[in-house]
Structure 1
Amino acid sequence: MSRSESPAESVAEHEERIKRHLSASREIAETLEFDDDLSFEMGLPSPGRRTFIKTSGVVAASAALAGCAGDDDDEDDDENDEEAPSAERSETVQLAAKQYEFDPQEIRVPPNTELTIEFTQSTFEENEDFAMHTFYLEDPYDVGPVELPENTNDDVIDSVTFVTDEEGTFQFECNVYCGDGHAQMNGQLYVVPEGESVDKVDFTDMETLKERHEVLKEESELAQEPSHDLDLRDIMVVTERNNASVAMIDTVNDEFMERVENVGKAIHVHDFHPDLPEQTREGAYVYTQSRQGEMYKIDLFDFERVAVADAGTDARDIAVSRDGDYVIGGFYNPNHLVICDAETMEPIKRIPTHTVNPDGESLGSRVCSLYDVPEEGLFLAGLKEGGEVWLIDYTQDDFPVVATIECGRTLHDGFFTEDGRYFMIASQTDNQMDIIDTHERRHVAAIPMDGVPHPGPGALYPDEDLAFTTHAGAPSVGVWNTETWEAEKMIDVRGSGLFIRKHENSDYVWADVILTDTEDDAYVYTIDPETLEVDQEIDCSQWGAAAAIHPEFSRDGEKVYISVWQGENESILVFDPNTGEMLTQIEDLLAPTGKFLGVRAEGH
């Protein structure tokens, strides 16, 4: 399919648009600092799903970008009035917005509370050029954005009241860019489950971490034979973003198998037990990490939750050790790593991620990526603000950090070379891919890329020693040589993207388009790795997609799966990876996003 014509857009206009789009999801800085919250958060949710009991000042729900108010019609208002939740109690909390943080960062209330948030100070200590913060509380509450103009005293600027009728942890944020530290300007509303204390949980205390661990089903109670006849490597675990669930997909017959509920909101990563390829009881598990900070162990014989470790309120990544003994989780809040026993999920070690960043500032850092280093007995952790890669030795009882390797600013995700020796990680503020030699434990290269490299799981073409990344801030795909560590080409593509993949048995590299804020977000495309040119573009809107993301291959490489996570029919599209023909559509899914195949266990 030919590329559609679009009006010319200057570099400055493109950068400003991306800034606005990223800022609508909190994670943006002046140099296009990018955070994976945006991976599945395009703008703000549609208005009208909640009734604000009382408000003063400007409170507007936006359907797109910050500052663009949405209008409800009378029918929606009537519907909301009829569904207005009831409250059992009331509480008022005062919230101040500072540069770059909210105070307090966590609001804890019982369920069914009529909660009033009064907004007081709104200050700009770090940069006087800014004069406006906002407050936005995410789905399912959809509160705001509330405009918070500069206010240096304790007067109440504005307030909003709603009923906390949904339990769980929910992010709030400033969605207007307010300077280089804007990525930190967020917090959590914790609606405490019935019967649980509203006192703040200290996730930095090992005793507390152990107390919040729970075995949901004893190993002896689990099915000893699978309830299906599928090779575990052919099971695809799909995040259903809006439902705190994962869907199990049969990639042989391309069918929905089962849904596992209540495994945490917006799971970001799944990793598999290294013994999974053996098809035995001992290895039949997948481990998940939700953005709410819960790490679950799930049985792949009968699709049941086995155990959970609740070790924070905001998290992204998880990894399983090659020996199958340990699971490590990386957190945004608190800034730490937590290592668990892989059998029971009981926390056994906490590692604070405090360091000195590339600018010499002492700080706590969020953990953006986690991997087992092939054949090394090491976990690899990427520290986002810290700009460092840490290597943690899990063959020693005390799990020492045996190397801290300096990279660029604002690290994100990365992937290994085919031999597993080199790890290639995105430094998104510096617009480069940093190369780590995990054998010699040192930084070996920094390869310039376009704006905001976002490789996701990345793509390799070993025949020509090539690696590929999409860019969240530029309509291009970056290509570099894994022998010389030199950039080979920037391939012009339809728009910025988040995920790119290649299978050894496929002829083409597949990638998505997202963040364009246009109909182009429904496109995926293929790249010929020999010519380094776009070969084909596929408009997924013909199958009901408004946003199509995250290509993933079947185990044999004969099919590629694309998530339709926004549109008329939330589903997974199945394509022939070489011809681009749409083969089938797996329907009845709930906002499918990331997809992880059991074959990944062979990477251990």
Structure 2
Amino acid sequence: SIMDGATLEPLKIVGTRGMTVDGEYHPEPRVASIVSSFVKPEWVINIKETGQIKLVDYSDINNLKETTIESAKFLHDGGWDSTKRYFLVAANASNKVAVVDTQEGKLAALVDTAKKPHPGRGANFTHPQYGPVWTTGHLGADVLTLIGTDPAGHKDNAWKVVQEIPHIGAGNLFVKSHPVSKNLWADAPLNPERSIATSVAVYDTDDLGKPPRVLDVAKDSGLPETKAVKRAVHPEYSADGSEVWISLWGGKTDQSAIVVYDDKTLNVVKVITDPKMITP
């Protein structure tokens, strides 16, 4: 659905049904994620079940122009590289990450990864050996995967897995970095072990061989332990990169919280909670 940005009035509805990358017709594929290009008036639309990526020129919505890129199933979350030219999106049923060159309007690469990549938006930082990289975690593997993203300055590493970092467990949903920080944060809320699901790991991007600092977010919230696991999920930086905010997902009736950490010291800055804050 294309809507007016100010009023949210629907302006146009465009169907997603069509052929999958396997050559089969799908009557009702879902849109997994949409982002807007930084280089042209165009949306990058990832059609989950078909494995097709649509580049849609929205400069004239009465005469839409679409470029269809075949990638892999099932498309899910994704994010930009540090230059905002390339969009990287997980095809988690295929254990791949698709790389779209939004300037050229074509697929740059399909990168094989560990099982079920799930990047959220992914995390960018400069690796001391491999240069600029983009990071994804995994639902099905206990590693964080680093993919080289600099075809101009580090051609030999571009669109390749340059390193896998051991994570505290599988079940990751989000990784996060910030341009002014040397930390890489990663959760594991879907891990079956309580102690892992309630925690996040913080890696030093200058020394990735060093074990991460592991923070038990549920314990740091000060809330009592309940039958349901309080899962630590989605670390998110403040705009200036000084703090990281992490949500707790609890049970259907359990009080939950947002725990705020200082990015440098990893100390708790604030716990935001209320009996009415319930996030099952």
TM-score interval, normalised by the smaller of the two chains: 0.7 to 0.9
Q: Is the Cα–Cα contact under 8 Å of residues 381 and 391 in structure 1 kept in the other structure?
A: yes
Match in the other structure for 1:220: none
Q: Is the Cα–Cα contact under 8 Å of residues 39 and 85 in structure 2 kept in the other structure?
A: no
Alpha-carbon offset, residue 346 of structure 1: 1.3
Which string of whole-angstrom CA distances, capped at 9 and with x for unpartnered residues, describes residues 65-94 of structure 1?
xxxxxxxxxxxxxxxxxxxxxxxxxxxxxx
Match in the other structure for 1:345: 8
Which string of whole-angstrom CA distances, capped at 9 and with x for unpartnered residues, describes residues 254-310 of structure 1?
xxxxxxxxxxxxxxxxxxxxxxxxxxxxxxxxxxxxxxxxxxxxxxxxxxxxxxxxx
Cα separation, 2, equivalents of 1:541 and 1:379: 38
- AA partner of residue 418 (structure 1): S
- Superposition map of 1:205-216 within 5 A: none
Among 95, 103, 106, which residue is 1:439 paired with?
A: 103
Cα separation, 1, equivalents of 2:30 and 2:84: 25
- Superposition map of 1:489-568 within 5 A: 489-496=163-170, 497-519=172-194, 520-533=196-209, 534-542=211-219, 543=221, 544=223, 546-566=230-250
Would you say how many aligned residue pairs link Structure 1 and Structure 2? Answer: 256
- AA partner of residue 510 (structure 1): W
Which string of whole-angstrom CA distances, capped at 9 and with x for unpartnered residues, describes residues 482-536 of structure 1?
0211101111111121011101111201111122222110010111222324421
Alpha-carbon offset, residue 547 of structure 1: 0.8
Bigger radius of gyration among the two: 1
- AA partner of residue 188 (structure 2): V
Alpha-carbon offset, residue 564 of structure 1: 1.2
The alignment partner of 1:352 has SS state of: coil
Unaligned runs of at least 5 residues, structure 2: 151-157, 224-228
CA 451–399 in structure 1, closer or farther in 2 if over 3 Å, else same: farther
- AA partner of residue 546 (structure 1): K
Cα separation, 1, equivalents of 2:126 and 2:164: 18
- AA partner of residue 506 (structure 1): S
Indicate yes or no: 2:155 matched with 1:480: no
Cα separation, 1, equivalents of 2:63 and 2:266: 46
- AA partner of residue 526 (structure 1): V
Alpha-carbon offset, residue 469 of structure 1: 0.6
Q: Is the Cα–Cα contact under 8 Å of residues 69 and 107 in structure 2 kept in the other structure?
A: yes
Q: Which has the higher helix share?
A: 1
- AA partner of residue 500 (structure 1): V
Cα separation, 1, equivalents of 2:162 and 2:207: 12
Q: Is the Cα–Cα contact under 8 Å of residues 418 and 462 in structure 1 kept in the other structure?
A: no
- Superposition map of 1:64-79 within 5 A: none
- AA partner of residue 590 (structure 1): M
- AA partner of residue 75 (structure 2): L
Q: What is the TM-score with the length of structure 1 in the denominator?
A: 0.41
Q: Is the Cα–Cα contact under 8 Å of residues 173 and 187 in structure 2 kept in the other structure?
A: yes
Q: Is the Cα–Cα contact under 8 Å of residues 476 and 493 in structure 1 kept in the other structure?
A: yes
Alpha-carbon offset, residue 399 of structure 1: 5.1
- Superposition map of 1:226-375 within 5 A: 338-364=1-27, 365-375=29-39
The alignment partner of 1:398 has SS state of: helix
Cα separation, 2, equivalents of 1:590 and 1:470: 28
Q: Is the Cα–Cα contact under 8 Å of residues 434 and 445 in structure 1 kept in the other structure?
A: yes
- AA partner of residue 563 (structure 1): S
Q: Is the Cα–Cα contact under 8 Å of residues 39 and 103 in structure 2 kept in the other structure?
A: no
Which string of whole-angstrom CA distances, capped at 9 and with x for unpartnered residues, describes residues 523-564 of structure 1?
101112223244211112323372111000111110000001
Q: Is the Cα–Cα contact under 8 Å of residues 182 and 204 in structure 2 kept in the other structure?
A: yes
Q: Is the Cα–Cα contact under 8 Å of residues 392 and 399 in structure 1 kept in the other structure?
A: no
Match in the other structure for 1:574: 260
Which string of whole-angstrom CA distances, capped at 9 and with x for unpartnered residues, describes residues 357-380 of structure 1?
111001131100001111310111
Larger RCO: 1 or 2 (CA < 8 Å, sep 6+): 1
Q: Is the Cα–Cα contact under 8 Å of residues 576 and 583 in structure 1 kept in the other structure?
A: yes
Indicate yes or no: 2:138 matched with 1:468: no
Match in the other structure for 2:269: 583
Alpha-carbon offset, residue 566 of structure 1: 1.2
Q: Is the Cα–Cα contact under 8 Å of residues 548 and 566 in structure 1 kept in the other structure?
A: no
- Superposition map of 1:139-154 within 5 A: none
- AA partner of residue 392 (structure 1): V
Alpha-carbon offset, residue 402 of structure 1: 2.3
Cα separation, 2, equivalents of 1:557 and 1:454: 23
Which string of whole-angstrom CA distances, capped at 9 and with x for unpartnered residues, describes residues 400-431 of structure 1?
14200111110101111122111101011110
CA 423–393 in structure 1, closer or farther in 2 if over 3 Å, else same: same
- AA partner of residue 248 (structure 2): V
Match in the other structure for 2:153: none
Q: Is the Cα–Cα contact under 8 Å of residues 507 and 577 in structure 1 kept in the other structure?
A: no
Q: What is the TM-score with the length of structure 2 in the denominator?
A: 0.87
Q: Is the Cα–Cα contact under 8 Å of residues 165 and 208 in structure 2 kept in the other structure?
A: yes
Match in the other structure for 1:256: none
Match in the other structure for 2:118: 454
- AA partner of residue 21 (structure 2): P
The alignment partner of 1:541 has SS state of: helix
- AA partner of residue 142 (structure 2): P
Cα separation, 1, equivalents of 2:80 and 2:235: 18
Cα separation, 1, equivalents of 2:111 and 2:258: 34
Q: Is the Cα–Cα contact under 8 Å of residues 548 and 564 in structure 1 kept in the other structure?
A: yes
Unaligned runs of at least 5 residues, structure 1: 1-337, 594-604
Cα separation, 1, equivalents of 2:198 and 2:148: 30
- AA partner of residue 551 (structure 1): P
- AA partner of residue 167 (structure 2): V
- AA partner of residue 340 (structure 1): M
Task: Report the aligned-residue RMSD.
Answer: 1.7
